[in-house]
């Protein structure tokens, strides 16, 4: 009997050791604040749509995840320098970025939105009317690329490290309009008195994906499988409905 007990104990220890060995330790980067995707609540706790989705994804992957706050313009350099393992911070999938990083399947898609003061009456698609206007964008985003390619030399483009700084300049009348991820504009501009949506939403890119290093193909397979499971079992929809009143799922 004693031998059986010892054998059973060894077997349990082996199973536990194997389970621990299979757990991943991952660091996931977020650009904060970028409400409603990632931001700190009134208690200083990191929250938001992508933060909650990352929590659920890590649980599905049996991974121990550490969340890292990283400024947007250092996202891809930080990933390549191994400061973190994944970027899950509203990074649109573009051909240029795909040359440097490996993307998961897209997990949401939202357009870019134009926002400005209530007295702004210019048609943002009329380049003659927009000439000389000052447009705010967040540096290095698909919105930055869109304005640069379509309006460069026509408008003055002011680039910001964070969306919050951009909105502060809009409030201070140092910008005529901003072009930002639509849900961010809803949360950071339309919630303030005196501001409105000033143009049609613009579809950009191929959706948003989790970014990883090119060689991390096994990790990408795990991420894709976890995200698919979260969509299929309803977890994704539950999280999404906490932050959006419309469907952003691809």
Strands (E) in the chain, as ranges, are 24-30, 39-40, 46-47, 63-69, 86-87, 102-103, 112-117, 134-138, 156-160, 177-181, 195-197, 211-212
Question: Can you spell out the DSSP letters for 34-58?
Answer: BTTTBEE-TTS-EESHHHHHHHHHH
**Tens digit of pLDDT per residue, the chain (250 long)?**
434 334 444 444 444 444 444 678 999 999 999 999 999 999 999 999 999 999 999 999 999 999 999 999 999 999 999 999 999 999 999 999 999 999 999 999 989 999 999 999 999 999 999 999 999 999 999 999 999 999 999 999 999 999 999 999 999 999 999 999 999 999 999 999 999 999 999 988 789 999 999 999 999 999 999 999 999 999 999 999 999 988 888 8
- pTM, full prediction: 0.81
What's the pLDDT at 23? 74
What is the token pair recorded at 70?
């990283």
Distance CA 229, CA 232 (A): 5
CA 244 to mean position of chain CA atoms: 14
**Backbone φ and ψ of 160, nearest 5°:** -125, 150
Residues 137/160, Cβ–Cβ less than 8 Å: yes
Confidence (pLDDT) at 22: 62
pLDDT recorded at residue 72 = 94
CA 240 to chain centre: 13
What is residue 232's predicted lDDT score, i.e. its pLDDT? 97
pLDDT of amino acid 11: 42
């Amino acid at each position: 009997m004693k031998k059986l007990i010892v054998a059973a104990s060894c077997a349990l220890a082996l199973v536990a050791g194997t389970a621990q060995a299979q757990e991943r330790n991952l660091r996931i980067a977020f650009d904060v604040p970028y409400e409603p995707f990632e931001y700190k609540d009134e208690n200083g706790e990191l929250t938001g749509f992508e933060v909650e989705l990352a929590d659920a994804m890590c649980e599905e992957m049996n991974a121990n995840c550490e969340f890292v706050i990283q400024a947007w313009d250092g996202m891809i350099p930080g990933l390549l320098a191994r400061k973190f393992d994944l970027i899950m911070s509203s990074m649109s999938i573009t051909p240029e970025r795909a040359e440097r990083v490996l993307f998961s399947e897209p997990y949401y898609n939202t357009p870019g939105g134009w926002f400005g003061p209530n007295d702004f009456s210019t048609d943002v698609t009329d380049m003659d009317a927009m000439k000389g206007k000052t447009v705010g964008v967040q540096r290095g985003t698909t919105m930055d690329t869109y304005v640069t390619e379509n309006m460069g030399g026509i408008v003055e483009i002011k680039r910001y490290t964070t969306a919050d700084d951009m909105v502060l300049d809009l409030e201070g009348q140092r910008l005529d309009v901003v072009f930002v991820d639509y849900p961010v504009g809803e949360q950071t501009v339309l919630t303030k008195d005196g501001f409105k949506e000033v143009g049609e939403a613009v579809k950009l890119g191929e959706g948003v994906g989790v970014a990883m290093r090119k060689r991390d193909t096994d990790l990408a397979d795990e991420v894709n499988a976890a995200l698919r499971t979260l969509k299929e079992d309803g977890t994704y929809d539950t999280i999404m409905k906490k932050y959006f009143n419309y469907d952003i799922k691809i």
